[in-house]
Structure 1
Amino acid sequence: MNSRKELFITSFALFSLFFGAGNLLLPPLLGYNAGEKWFWVALGFMLTAVVIPIIGIFAHAKLQGTMYDFGKKVSPTFSLVYCVIVYIISVAIPSPRTASATHEIAIHPAFGTSPLLTSLVYFALVLLFVLNRSKILSIIGKFLTPMIVIMLLLVIGIGLYHSSLPNTGTLETPVVEGVLEGYQTFDAIGAVVVGAFIIISVNLRNKGSFEVKRKLIRQSGIIAGLGLFLIYAGLIAVGAYYGSEIAIDNSLSSDMQRANLLRGISLSALGDFGNSALSILIALACFTTAVGIIAGTADYFKGLLGDSQLVYKLTAIIACVFGVGVGQLDFHSIIVIAVPVLLFIYPITIILILLNVLSNRHATPLVFRATVITTFIFSIPDVVGFIWPSEALASVVAYIPLAKYHLGWVLPALVVSVVVNLLTKKEMEQFN
């Protein structure tokens, strides 16, 4: 296959696999609340929703293995447990969330059907795509992604052209708010799941050398990252500039606020066609993400259990059945369940991504172990504080830098990583 054609198919597929329900719904309301500070909130959002996920793709390009390779320097047992937890989380939360968002925003308003019927049809189609494993990348990259991008550009371009000045905004710390909202996209976790899926897809289509594949994956990551950056910035800006024109009912849940704002922007930008365009856009964006998650999960368990095609099919079927069940919950309920899970697994995932792009000299097994353990320990107060808030815990957390922003793990992990590197280097110099 022509290398340029292969590059764009892989880039488009990667963009589409990242761009799901949260990626479409979160940025406009974030911009709406940021108002004239939308640029700063966009910077924070890009860090956790674009930069770190694309670094994750770079790490996959370097390793060209499975998600297991991300954590094996900590220990084989840790890596196995981490992989199983991440894949279970992916099947249990982001995948059903795509069905829930599709039902609430695209299907129910138009047809009034039950969530059960939507989930059954939705995951039946997902299963059909997943079972045709060798064709997924081509179908998503050639056909589905261009449709998503065209509709997004229409909403953003026409929306910005007809918008007015932004409001003053309500966010006190826009950069931090953007960082934390970027967590909700699941894109860092998506990077390790989708990246593994991309590696296998590239291997099925491309018989080139390790270096050729690494170049292809890295370039695809850059193109997909630039696409995500432009779309997110556009959606945040549109939300900010429509802030004075579209009334948002603050008594509604945040997910309904997001849906109503996006629907209002689409109607203002595209007229009556806006509702139909929004429904198609959400359905496509959610669908491609669900396909990537379930195919990636099935790939992993297939490799774990003797490269069995039967295991691949059974995993895909179980994941889709589970998706139908959890998909009965509303979008807000799934978001609430996701928060403590994200506060636990996201920091460890980010650290693994960052360590895996470093050279082996600066990311030794000792550095991996020390940094991951530190990250885990300093993430505990966030999880416990969310589930069982207490004054005693709050008084302890007050002494941890950035902890009030749920980022108390950042500085300790950085310090431990640097210190262990320095000590290791000193020992090696003494030994020599």
Structure 2
Amino acid sequence: MVDTTGNAQSEQPVEPQQGTASINAHDSDQSRTATKLNGRHRLVVAFTFFSMFFGAGNLIFPPLMGAQAQSAAIPATIGFIVSAVGLPILGVLAVASAGGFEHLASRVSPKFAAVLAFVIIMAIGPCFAIPRTATTSYEMAITPFAGENNRLALLIYSLVFFTLSFILSQHPEKLSKSLGRFMGPLLLVLIAVMFVACIFISHAPLGKPFGEYAHGSLIYGFINGYQTMDLLAALYFGIVISANISEFGVTDIKANRRETGIAGTGAGILLILIYAALSFIGAVSGSIKPANGKNDTGATVLTNLTTSAFGSIGTAFVGLIFVLACFNVCTGLISTCATYFEDIFPTVFGHPVKYRTWSVFFAVFSFIVSNAGLSAIITVSLPVLGALYPIAIVLVLLNLVQKPFSAKFPRVYFWTVLLVAIFTIFDCIIKLLAVFGLSLTSVSNALAHLPLYSAQLTWLIPAAAGIVIGVIDSLIRRNHK
């Protein structure tokens, strides 16, 4: 298997031990020398992977896209799937083939790998993503009944939410028994109910695309899929999936990596089917009640559809879907972060710190942050995630062409990531200053006039420059040897 730092472990069988990634000997379905999972176990692990990926953001974007794209929903969905599914699955495969994310990032430099790994874990963990799972599900499931700005209700809900998620996360190597066999399939059933309702509900013909989808629905679908930010989570979810695969008996390093890649591909297939269904649901909902691109969200689109199909109970139905999706992701993220920190920081100030202590820390910290409210979390998180995502994309894409290109010109990793990071971090700082009321108007206006800035793709320019410089640098170094 692959350890949490990304370093390949010994190919000796894993000995049972105390801790999170321990392998218990009670599973008699397969021997400890298994070289692959059987079909049933592969399906369960794929469902587990899907459940860890599919959160509130994944629910919100496709329906709103379908509601606005209308008759152009198919090309918009194709673009969305390419970025929302393609990039994360490429991330899973890249990390598996490189022997872990830090091995991949170390092609830039070992210190860079350690810093980037820590920052990503904190971003997809207690600082942003984990607290957002509680606040988003609260907004959808509780706010319609408890009212806006009910701080006590949010406090009670988040306390229960994180307590249950903490309990379930105490055995990350066994998440396939909860997320894979129960929670994930239940979520799919609820979404399938909405899809079937769309087939039979009476609605007007799909109209013309409007808003940003009126021109170039394929490219805008791609951009919205890019904003799901699932690639960052994909870089580390393999930690937990690897432990679950080991729990089923596949402990050999190469076999475990192969099964992790297969699980990622299976999760990708499930995501494609669900995104297509949600886009269709959104298109039908938009034909019943047109979506307001400025004020409505994907949650509004889903609520409009379920209200038309099921009446007032539809609001509770959508709320349940959001709670399940967010709870699955929260549990997966707590497991991933605690496993990573147990390996990187086994002691703190000379005292041993086990998985359970780290999981308590992440659950409590996330509980505190979640009570700041959804709006505050999203406002601060978007610039940070926007800075990290292009760096991750560059690393994954360079790994994709490792044999024919990147291995021959190894300096492309350093220069490409360096130039992309300079731009994205600078842009992040400007946006964060604006969040806290320190707007630099002239700088912001200058950035806004850069090519592709509105599409959040300006980083492609420094990336291209970094590749050219990296090739030249590699050739110079090679000639001086």
TM-score, scaled relative to structure 2:
0.80
Q: Does structure 2 conserve the Cα–Cα contact (< 8 Å) formed by 1:52 and 1:350?
A: yes
CA RMSD of aligned residues (A): 2.8
Question: What does residue 266 of structure 1 align with?
Answer: 306
TM-superposed deviation, 1:287: 0.6
- Asked whether 1:85 is paired with 2:124, we answer no
Q: Does structure 1 conserve the Cα–Cα contact (< 8 Å) formed by 2:211 and 2:293?
A: no
What amino acid is aligned across from residue 120 of structure 1 in structure 2?
A: L
Question: What does residue 178 of structure 1 align with?
Answer: 221
Question: Which residue of the other structure, out of 101, 105, 114, is the alignment partner of 1:71?
Answer: 105
Question: What does residue 383 of structure 1 align with?
Answer: 428
* Distance (whole Å) between structure 2 residues aligned to residue 22 and residue 311 of structure 1: 31
Question: What does residue 408 of structure 1 align with?
Answer: 458
* Distance (whole Å) between structure 1 residues aligned to residue 454 and residue 190 of structure 2: 38
Question: What does residue 394 of structure 1 align with?
Answer: 445
SS at match of 1:131: coil
Deviation digits for residues 237-277 of structure 1 (CA, Å, limit 9, x no counterpart)? 2212321312556774x5xx332221121233445553343
Q: Does structure 2 conserve the Cα–Cα contact (< 8 Å) formed by 1:371 and 1:417?
A: yes
Question: Which residue of the other structure, out of 366, 376, 379, is the alignment partner of 1:336?
Answer: 379
**Higher mean C-alpha deviation, range 318-327 or range 56-65:** 56-65
Evaluate the alpha carbon distance shift between residue 36 and residue 332 of structure 1 in structure 2; reply closer, same or farther with a 3 A threshold.
farther
* Distance (whole Å) between structure 1 residues aligned to residue 219 and residue 362 of structure 2: 34
Evaluate the alpha carbon distance shift between residue 414 and residue 88 of structure 1 in structure 2; reply closer, same or farther with a 3 A threshold.
same
Question: What does residue 283 of structure 1 align with?
Answer: 323
Deviation digits for residues 340-370 of structure 1 (CA, Å, limit 9, x no counterpart)? 1122111111112223333356334422111
Question: Which residue of the other structure, out of 162, 165, 169, is the alignment partner of 1:126?
Answer: 165
Evaluate the alpha carbon distance shift between residue 391 and residue 155 of structure 1 in structure 2; reply closer, same or farther with a 3 A threshold.
same
* Distance (whole Å) between structure 1 residues aligned to residue 207 and residue 427 of structure 2: 32
TM-superposed deviation, 1:216: 1.5
Unaligned runs of 5+ in 1: none
What amino acid is aligned across from residue 226 of structure 1 in structure 2?
A: I
SS at match of 2:354: helix
What amino acid is aligned across from residue 54 of structure 2 in structure 1?
A: F
TM-superposed deviation, 1:9: 1.1
* Distance (whole Å) between structure 1 residues aligned to residue 166 and residue 58 of structure 2: 23
How many residues are matched?
426
TM-superposed deviation, 1:339: 1.7
TM-superposed deviation, 1:95: 0.9
* Distance (whole Å) between structure 2 residues aligned to residue 62 and residue 89 of structure 1: 24
* Distance (whole Å) between structure 2 residues aligned to residue 204 and residue 29 of structure 1: 39
SS at match of 1:244: helix
Q: Does structure 1 conserve the Cα–Cα contact (< 8 Å) formed by 2:123 and 2:385?
A: no
What amino acid is aligned across from residue 331 of structure 1 in structure 2?
A: L
- Asked whether 1:27 is paired with 2:62, we answer yes
SS at match of 2:211: coil
Evaluate the alpha carbon distance shift between residue 411 and residue 39 of structure 1 in structure 2; reply closer, same or farther with a 3 A threshold.
farther
Q: Does structure 2 conserve the Cα–Cα contact (< 8 Å) formed by 1:62 and 1:357?
A: no
* Distance (whole Å) between structure 1 residues aligned to residue 294 and residue 106 of structure 2: 47
Question: What does residue 103 of structure 1 align with?
Answer: 138
Evaluate the alpha carbon distance shift between residue 249 and residue 422 of structure 1 in structure 2; reply closer, same or farther with a 3 A threshold.
closer
* Distance (whole Å) between structure 2 residues aligned to residue 40 and residue 411 of structure 1: 26
The structure whose Rg is larger is 2
Higher share of residues assigned helix: 1
* Distance (whole Å) between structure 2 residues aligned to residue 250 and residue 223 of structure 1: 33
* Distance (whole Å) between structure 1 residues aligned to residue 472 and residue 193 of structure 2: 51
TM-superposed deviation, 1:397: 5.8
Q: Does structure 2 conserve the Cα–Cα contact (< 8 Å) formed by 1:193 and 1:296?
A: yes
Q: Does structure 2 conserve the Cα–Cα contact (< 8 Å) formed by 1:54 and 1:225?
A: yes
* Distance (whole Å) between structure 1 residues aligned to residue 346 and residue 401 of structure 2: 31
Q: Does structure 2 conserve the Cα–Cα contact (< 8 Å) formed by 1:382 and 1:406?
A: no
* Distance (whole Å) between structure 2 residues aligned to residue 43 and residue 418 of structure 1: 31
**Higher mean C-alpha deviation, range 138-147 or range 209-218:** 209-218
TM-superposed deviation, 1:219: 1.8
Unaligned runs of 5+ in 2: 1-29, 31-36
TM-superposed deviation, 1:16: 0.8
Equivalent residues in 2 for 1:198-209, closer than 5 Å: 198-209=241-252
* Distance (whole Å) between structure 2 residues aligned to residue 214 and residue 159 of structure 1: 40
Question: What does residue 13 of structure 2 align with?
Answer: none
TM-superposed deviation, 1:201: 3.0
What amino acid is aligned across from residue 299 of structure 1 in structure 2?
A: T
Q: Does structure 2 conserve the Cα–Cα contact (< 8 Å) formed by 1:302 and 1:309?
A: no
Deviation digits for residues 263-321 of structure 1 (CA, Å, limit 9, x no counterpart)? 12123344555334322221111011011111111111111124998332222111111
Question: Which residue of the other structure, out of 167, 180, 187, is the alignment partner of 1:141?
Answer: 180
- Asked whether 1:417 is paired with 2:467, we answer yes
- Asked whether 1:167 is paired with 2:207, we answer yes
**Higher mean C-alpha deviation, range 28-37 or range 147-156:** 28-37
* Distance (whole Å) between structure 2 residues aligned to residue 250 and residue 58 of structure 1: 35
* Distance (whole Å) between structure 2 residues aligned to residue 140 and residue 227 of structure 1: 14
Evaluate the alpha carbon distance shift between residue 269 and residue 354 of structure 1 in structure 2; reply closer, same or farther with a 3 A threshold.
farther
Question: What does residue 54 of structure 1 align with?
Answer: 89
